[in-house]
A and B are shown apart, each in its own frame.
Chain A
Amino acid sequence: AQRVTQPEKLLSVFKGAPVELKCNYSYSGSPELFWYVQYSRQRLQLLLRHISRESIKGFTADLNKGETSFHLKKPFAQEEDSAMYYCALSGITGGGNKLTFGTGTQLKVEL
């Protein structure tokens, strides 16, 4: 079974402070991990995928298979980072590639 856990419903940080949004997963095979972001009243947008190993808007995430984690990090939070962040896992099952989402973390960046 696929499961994604995001332990924090709300994370509040000050502008310029480091950010870490936690994500842990459970999957028996070799998963693909994603971070999606949802800005106020907008659609879910892909932020990062682990196989790309790139930095988007200053965010990075490293897949740690030993700890089954895919935490999202940014060294200096910006006001425009305030949004809902979802960690998601895709496992190849019958060609469907369904996404299993965590419950999401609301990031609030305060001035």
Chain B
Amino acid sequence: EPEVTQTPSHQVTQMGQEVILRCVPISNHLYFYWYRQILGQKVEFLVSFYNNEISEKSEIFDDQFSVERPDGSNFTLKIRSTKLEDSAMYFCASMGRSNQPQHFGDGTRLSIL
């Protein structure tokens, strides 16, 4: 069964540094998402992406965050200048068509020191 894959599984970064989290969605999917889960808290929506543009973003997704689908297969989340509170598990998800279930990757654990 096709899967969403995320790399790296764990990223440790100094505060203030830029970080890029990578995702390869399922190949024929059209909708892409990033969520995050701070330790002990619930999974929170960050951003959705469709037709090469952001379709919705949460208030968490401020100017420090950006997403890109550079080559038709990868879907990346960039945090420009990381803060301690960015430490979380980041999940990528993709969906084939509107109103189908979203499929999640294993997540990237981001630790900011």
Q: Which residues of A contact B (CB under 8 A)?
A: 32, 34, 36, 42-46, 49, 86, 88, 90, 92-104
CB of A61, distance to nearest CB on chain B (Å): 14
Chain A residues contacting B102 (CB-CB under 8 Å) are 46, 97, 99
Given A43-B104, A95-B50, A104-B42, 10 more A-B residue pairs with CB atoms under 8 Å apart are: A42-B106, A46-B103, A93-B56, A94-B56, A95-B55, A97-B99, A98-B56, A99-B35, A99-B43, A99-B102
Which of B45, B48, B55, B103 is close to A100, meaning CB atoms less than 8 Å apart? Answer: B45
- Bound together, the chains give a CA A100 to CA B42 distance in angstroms of 9
Chain B residues contacting A104 (CB-CB under 8 Å) are 42-43
A-B contact pairs, 13 of them (CB 8 A): A43-B105, A45-B104, A46-B102, A90-B99, A95-B56, A95-B98, A97-B31, A97-B98, A98-B56, A99-B35, A103-B42, A104-B42, A104-B43
B95 on the A face (CB < 8 A): yes
Q: Which residues of B contact A (CB under 8 A)?
A: 4, 31, 33, 35, 41-45, 48, 50, 55-56, 58, 91, 93, 95, 98-99, 101-107
Asked, given contacts A43-B104, A44-B104, A95-B50, whether A101 binds B43 with beta carbons under 8 Å apart, the answer is yes
Which residue from chain A places its CB closest to the CB of B101 in the assembled complex?
A: A46
Chain B residues contacting A97 (CB-CB under 8 Å) are 31, 48, 95, 98-99, 102
